[in-house]
Amino acid sequence: MDEQMPVGVTIQKIVEETPSVRTFVFDREIAARPGQFVMVWVPGVDEIPMALSSPSAITVQKVGDATAALFAMHEGDRIGIRGPYGNGFTVSGRTLAIAGGVGASPLLPLVAAGQVDTFLLGARTAAELLFAGRIREAATLMVATDDGTAGHHGFVTELVSRIDLADFSHICVCGPEIMMAAVLAALDREGCAERGQFSLHRYMKCGIGLCGSCCTDPHGLRVCRDGPVFSGDALIESEFGHYTRDASGSRHRV
């Protein structure tokens, strides 16, 4: 697929995964590694980065103008896809996955490939647990909900203490940044931050490393090109877990 120009695809199926999350299946498969992303063009609205939840699908939570426009679309409507871009997850041996909310989306291809042994999945409530059934078919699943309606009553990060991290060669994480920062802190305390792989989300314009809108302090790493998946030890002294930037470059605390 051309890096510069979006390719038009037709939405073939829309799946309501949870009350706030939908999967949009389109009529083209994209050869991507788990954790890579595509730029999704919503005609007349915006172009935004989205993780692939399968070679022909994106899984979306309605959080802004572009995602709201996606939620207003129907089967047969068309969007543009550009990519895939960035570095994905690299795993071998035993792998632990940790996700909060829609952060399960970029981790699902690892599950589908049989590369996850244990999965810690968190959500606000039982109805918002994303892909729980599919994950349970392929991996040992441990669940946490903020309101206690399923699994552990509390945050998914609290499940990490129930896991022997020494059993895993890789720990792949995606979700709200405050959650991921808590996981990184736990790994750092155990002396294994380098085994963590964290999928970051940042505002992007180009997606190919030219515009600099997704550069991170203090080393200038580009989330689109050097990430979106970073090893934990590369993030310890960075802006990760502290702040992000909007389209104007202004900082906003996580």
- How many CB atoms neighbour CB 233 within 10 A? 15
Q: Which of 248, 253, 118 is nearest to 173 (CA)?
A: 118
Q: Residues 128, 52, 95, 234: what is their CA dihedral angle, to the nearest 10 degrees?
A: -100
- Please give the annotated binding residues for [2Fe-2S] cluster, written as ranges: 206, 211, 214, 224
Integer Cα distance of 195 and 126 in angstroms: 29
36 Cβ neighbours under 8 A, 6+ residues apart = 51, 52, 83, 84, 85, 86, 87, 88, 228
Q: Which of 222, 110, 242 is nearest to 171 (CA)?
A: 110
| C-alpha to C-alpha distances, 254 to 88, 177, 179, 243, 247, nearest whole angstrom | 23, 7, 10, 5, 16
- Please give the annotated binding residues, written as ranges: 206, 211, 214, 224
Whether the Cβ atoms of residue 245 and residue 223 lie closer than 8 Å to each other: no
